Amino acid sequence: MAVFSWTVWSRSMLSSTAANNRDLHSPMKESGVRVMSCLPCNLVEPRIMRRSHGRGQRVIVGASPTEAALVPTKPMITKEDLVAYLASGCKPKGNWRIGAEHEKFGFDLGTLRPLRYEQIAELLHGIAERFDWDKVMEGDNIIGLVQGKQSISLEPGGQLELSGAPVETLHQTCAEINSHLSQVKSVAEKMGVGFLGIGFQPKCEIEDIPIIPKARFGIIRKYWPQVGSLARDVMYRTCTVQVK
């Protein structure tokens, strides 16, 4: 904050001062005013306070910077700067790719209940052995499959997810998902297992969903209830299709 300070003398003090200072020529000096400034006058808005001081009076002005003092004449970052920064991270069109994540609910065709982990494990082993996928193990538990740049993984509620490879066209993504569904169906049918592509589990409560023995899910189970009342529903009872 800039501070302006004027000292205004009484008439008798002014006469005495003028007599001793013959070189006072400016109007400010002749009126007995002393000025101390930290900012140009056009950049401050003064607020005046008066204090008595003996036979004279001291006037103190506290000034806050105006908008002219605060707003820079040139913006530090322009719109063009932001556009150029984002554009610098773009891939050349020849490197553009698309990929999809496809989740689905598995259920027992006889009871319409969610799959137990043992059934999911049998399904994963069957797909791996029949269609040449590599198994992803966590201890003794199978938790996913990998083939090239594709992977099959499990969500906390046992949802089966295909994470597709980055491909050049939407048609390739479509063919990849259709191939995946065909493989899953060919193994699942012999097990009496079906799959449903839908956004929300239509039948079962959270308590009916079997727990998947995956270490990361143990951490999530403790954390998600702190996020909100529906966090566990999102974790156990939803499926999505995502494009990346």
Look up the CATH number of the domain holding residue 118: 3.30.70
The average pLDDT across 149-156 equals 96
Domain count, the chain: 2
Same domain flag for 38 and 132? no
**Encoding tokens for residue 182?**
């065909």
Same domain flag for 180 and 65? no
Same domain flag for 9 and 120? no
Same domain flag for 148 and 38? no
What was the pLDDT predicted at 103?
A: 97
Query: Per-residue DSSP letters for 32-78?
Result: TEEEE-SS-GGGEEEEEEEEEETTEEEEEEEEEE-HHHHS-SS-SS-
What was the pLDDT predicted at 186?
A: 97
Element at 111 (helix H, strand E)? none
Is the pLDDT at 14 greater than 80? The verdict is no
What was the pLDDT predicted at 23?
A: 43
Is the pLDDT at 63 greater than 90? The verdict is no
Write down the pTM of the prediction. Answer: 0.65
Same domain flag for 143 and 104? yes
Where residue 36 falls among pLDDT bands split at 50, 70, 90? Answer: very low
CA distance 209 to 156: 9
CA separation, residue 202 to residues 116, 233, 235 (Å): 17, 12, 15
The average pLDDT across 119-130 equals 98
70, 86, 117 - which closes a domain: 70
Q: Give the chain's radius of gyration (CA, Å).
A: 38
State what percent of residues in the chain have pLDDT above 90: 56
What was the pLDDT predicted at 76?
A: 82
- Are 107 and 113 within 8 A, CB to CB? yes
In a domain, residue 210? The reply is yes
CA distance 20 to 153: 95
CA distance 74 to 186: 66
The range of the structural domain enclosing residue 22 comes to: 2-70
What was the pLDDT predicted at 85?
A: 94
What was the pLDDT predicted at 13?
A: 42
Where residue 202 falls among pLDDT bands split at 50, 70, 90? Answer: confident
Same domain flag for 110 and 229? yes
The average pLDDT across 176-187 equals 97
Same domain flag for 60 and 170? no
In a domain, residue 36? The reply is yes
Same domain flag for 59 and 138? no
CA distance 223 to 147: 32
What tens digit of pLDDT does each residue of 67-77 get? 655 666 666 88
CA separation, residue 128 to residues 25, 76, 195 (Å): 101, 57, 18
The average pLDDT across 216-222 equals 88
In a domain, residue 17? The reply is yes
Name residue 108's beta-bridge partners.
193
Same domain flag for 56 and 105? no
- Are 86 and 29 within 8 A, CB to CB? no
Where residue 7 falls among pLDDT bands split at 50, 70, 90? Answer: very low
In a domain, residue 139? The reply is yes
What was the pLDDT predicted at 21?
A: 46
